Amino acid sequence: MSSRSLARALLASVALLTASVLLAGCDTDQVSLATNAKANQPVPPKLLAAMVEKDMDLQSPILVRLFKQEAELEVWKQTRSGQFALLKTYPICRWSGDLGPKVREGDRQAPEGFYSINPGQMNPQSAYYLSFNTGYPNAFDKALGRSGSQLMVHGDCSSRGCYAMTDEQIAEIYSLGRESFFGGQKAFQLQAYPFKMTPVNMAKHRNNPNMPFWKMIKEGYDHFEVTRQEPKVDFCEKKYVFDATRAPDAKRDPVFDASAKCPAYVIPEDVASAVREKQAKDEAEYAKLVAKGTPVARMNTGIDGGMNKIFAAKIPEGSTGLSEGAEGNTLQMLAMAKAPGTIPGHVNPPKPNLEQAAVSPRQEQEPVVAVAAPAATRVAAAQPVEKSGGFFSGLARKMGMGTADTTASAPPAAAATPAAPAKPAAAATKPAPQPQAPKSIVAVKPPEPAKPDTRLAATRPTLKPSVSGGAAETSSAQFAGAAPVVPANSFDSRFSAVK
């Protein structure tokens, strides 16, 4: 080897060693958050103006709520007062499955419950533009033996168990999550519901077998509604517990395990009394609605998921499915409105899942009984996050040099060719066709779980215009450090059960 070649090799080795040391000393979660132009898009000026109006810092904590029936995703942000306020509501382009929690891998269900999203769950290399992993299954799901993986909120408007937005929408949502992490938030909470937990909706779905589970997660919904604070979530005895704290006579904080007996705990009286007052009003209104004969919502007859009406109005023969629909002139008027993002040509509007119906109805989901909390309350211990791979493999993955993460949504299939119309009966002058042997009937196979998609993100357009409008601003100040953030409910203290 020549002396020049040797010198080059030594310089290259030194450069690699220096880079590895520097990266080891920096926040590698931030490296994984923004490795390309899509993941680095700034928060749109219109959203920045809304933050100023609502007294929010760019990098203050966020919280996300999802509603299937309304087909809406809400982004809440902490104000300088320390409480959360609604920043923006995004119509959901597509969600799949039925109202109710996800139970098993391949059931096409979008999850319901409380989940925690940390920087490592953000996927800047998604084949579905951008995405983040919901964190399903959480400790509660695992305690019930529920299974599933790679359940995402992503772009591309196509879903098999995920919550799908348009590319422009997920770019905004991703940027809000990224800025909250840069501001010091360790994880943001995602609350996924079948519908807004109002007395009207509870009355409409009172005969649904998932009602015990829904009443249990409504407890967390109510905690957020009355406090406008991220509820602390724990699990024990295969149930959710919200805002549990140490009992007055306890010497240490309670330790929770989703499958074990609940430890002694209490809920702060100011929170508990406000929740009781809200629930008393809700139950009184619910009783009135039932007494006057509020119709019960029709159970799913094989329809696969839902779509917000603003998107359904843009698609030929579009349907809102299990989401709240619009009829007649309303849909026609919506068709004239601007869509919040690009609707891809391969979008699959909700329709009956004939293949699934031909096999067998979905196995009944086990009801979960929400046990009333005793005077001394309790919660579930956080499970440590498992890490796989060595430093360099993780670094390569975070820097976009490894295989990109995929979502649970399968690549959109090509639209089926419409069946040709039946031909008119042959004229009597033509000879009758020869009888054919009867065809054998082939049993329909159950749908297989979607395989992870391995398409490269580079095959998709790099950037999408903001759905908020306004010129994109490129400012390095957004990454220079967080503005002073109101002491936030940290992941360690507010979501101890889902580490």
Annotated catalytic residues are 154, 162
Cβ contacts of 94 within 8 Å, gap of 6 or more: 157, 158, 159, 164, 305, 306, 307, 311, 347, 348, 350
Cα distance between residue 69 and residue 391, in whole Å: 43
* One-letter amino acid for residue 72 of the chain: E
Cα distance between residue 404 and residue 123, in whole Å: 8
Provide the 8-state DSSP code for 197: -
Locate tokens 């959710």: which residue? 240
Partners of 163 in the β-ladder: 95, 153
Partners of 86 in the β-ladder: 76
Burial class (CB in 10 A: 0-12, 13-18, 19+), 119: buried
* One-letter amino acid for residue 345 of the chain: G
Within 10 angstroms of residue 362's Cβ, the number of other Cβ atoms is 19
DSSP per-residue string spanning 108-175: -PPP-EEEEE-GGGEETT-TTSSEEE---S-HHHHHTT------EEESTT--SSSEE--HHHHHHHHH
